[in-house]
Amino acid sequence: MAVSSEFLDGLTPSAIRDITASIREKKSRGIDVVNFAGGMPDAAYFPVKELKQITDEIIEEDSGDLFQYAATDGYLPLREALSDLMKRYQVAANPAEILITSGSAQALNYLSRALICPGDTVLIEEPVYVGAVDTLKSYGPKLVGIPMEEDGMDLEELEKALRKGRASFIYTVPDFQNPSGSTMSVEKRERLVRLAEKYDTYIIEDSPYSLLSFSGGVCPAVKSFDREGRVVYLGSVSKTICPGLRVGWICADQESVRKLIYLKQRDDLQVNNLAQRQVHRYLTGGSFDAHLQEVCGVYKQRMESMLEAVRAYFPKDAVYIPPRGGIFLWLELGGGIDARKLFPYILNRRIAFVPGSFFYANGGGKSTMRLNFCTNEEAVIREKIREMGLAIQAWQAERK
């Protein structure tokens, strides 16, 4: 007999992981697919050599504590290093205001579990990161989507929603948003915090892409405008170092961190000791900034190659905003195209993307798509986006 409960039976698979499974299934049959669908960084730029050296040093010097139980809040030198990192976002945080988590996904799950009761309202960007929707929905709230503008969430629409009743929290990815690629203006960041104060709610600021800036500039975090402890910042090294380490963090006031520690003690006790030490030594060893500069330079070139091919070969009524960082390009195809119906047609040509409707919690985004521009080399991007654009035009012509 399978385990069963209302909560467990209500869970659904990740849409993007389903797409990834389709790609793996084709690969198992010897069919290679050019993947513009996933949310991963380029593995070719993982600092494997440095991490191997760091790992050997850690095991040689620190093996006693390395293999023992450790503090739930995380490795103190890593929390100190992350306190220094938060200064780049103009956030002053001491190590006691940081909790290490198994990626920012675990952090969002903790906060959802802590703050949502079934039937509560949560305000989200729309489109929104599909992984956040999956996490939030599992706790039974009403998800209210706030439209996105070129400079972030539409705060006029947000305030209208806030006036209708208290929200458990507002969820935002302010830097190079997943999936839209948009970046919230500094003015909107400050106003967002003032709205949270006015309407007595919290903000969860999810920022895995903040350092992947093509200009080198880093925006002040939404949390930098926080005066009352209403903003909880979620960080991660998944996009800047590598996702397999599963190291993220929560930055909040000390009392909130204390309560979340109690929650983590009931979950997995602590994050992997080795991974925490690997991240600490890499952040403080002098290679991190050079690594970021290299990765951002490569991703920028790949983004420009993708935009050039989109302009040349996609339908002329396609709408997009060139991202200033991150890893995603968001496209609205227009012309009545249903991207979900288009998906198998393109996948049969060994190219994968994510239909944009997956990023709408309450329906919408029928003609939109998300493309990851960072995981393929420029020549591959130019050729496969050309093929994809021509295939979309052929698909449209067949249906006229």
Q: Phi, psi (5° rounding) for residue 145?
A: -85, 135
- Decide: 205 and 90 in contact? Cβ < 8 Å: no
pLDDT band for position 267 (cuts 50, 70, 90): very high
Which pLDDT does position 62 carry in this prediction? 84
Q: What is the pLDDT of residue 19?
A: 75
> What's the whole-number average pLDDT of the chain?
94
pLDDT at 334: 82
- pTM exceeds 0.75: yes
- CB 174 within 8 Å of CB 189: yes
Q: Measure the CA–CA gap between 358 and 363, rounded to whole angstroms.
A: 8
At residue 219 the predicted structure's pLDDT band, cuts being 50, 70 and 90, is very high
pLDDT at residue 121, as a whole number: 98
- pLDDT confidence tier of residue 280, bands split at 50, 70 and 90: very high
* pLDDT tens per residue, range 284-342: 999 999 999 999 999 999 999 999 999 999 999 999 999 999 999 999 998 789 999 99
**pLDDT bracket for residue 13 (50, 70, 90):** confident
Tokens 């021509």 belong to residue: 390
Q: With 90 as the cut, is the pLDDT of residue 6 above it?
A: no
Closest CA to 377 of 27, 44, 16: 44
In three-state form (DSSP H/G/I as H, E/B as E, the rest C), the secondary structure along the chain is CCCCCHHHHCCCCCHHHHHHHHHHHHHHCCCCCEECCCCCCCHHHCCHHHHHHHHHHHHHHHHHHHCCCCCCCCCHHHHHHHHHHHHHHCCCCCHHHEEEECHHHHHHHHHHHHHCCCCCEEEEEECCCHHHHHHHHCCCCEEEEEEEECCEECHHHHHHHHHCCCCCEEEECCCCCCCCCCCCCHHHHHHHHHHHHHCCCEEEEECCCCCCECCCCCCCCHHHHCCCCCEEEEEECCCCCCHHHCCEEEECCHHHHHHHHHHHHCCCCCCCHHHHHHHHHHHHCCCHHHHHHHHHHHHHHHHHHHHHHHHHHCCCCCEECCCCECCEEEEECCCCCCHHHHHHHHHCCCEECEEHHHHCCCCCCCCEEEEECCCCCHHHHHHHHHHHHHHHHHHHHHCC
Strands 152-153 and 169-172, how do they pair?
unpaired
Residue 52 pLDDT: 97
Residues 94-140 pLDDT 10s: 999 999 999 999 999 999 999 999 999 999 999 999 999 999 999 99
Q: CA–CA separation, 282 vs 47, rounded Å?
A: 9
pLDDT at 20: 75
Banded pLDDT at 25 (limits 50, 70, 90) = confident
The confidence score (pLDDT) of residue 376 equals 97
What Rg do the C-alpha atoms of the chain give, in angstroms?
21
Q: Quick check: 17 pLDDT over 90? A: no
CA distance 103 to 248: 4
How do residues 37-96 score in pLDDT, each as one tens digit?
989 999 999 999 999 999 999 999 987 889 999 999 999 999 999 999 999 999 999 999
pLDDT tens digits, residue range 142-169? 999 999 999 999 999 999 999 999 999 9
Return the percentage of the chain with pLDDT > 90, whole number.
Answer: 87
- The pLDDT, as a whole number, for residue 30 is 80
Q: In whole angstroms, give the CA distance from residue 192 to residue 154.
A: 10
Instruction: Determine the pLDDT at residue 135.
Output: 95
Mean local confidence (pLDDT), 265-289: 97
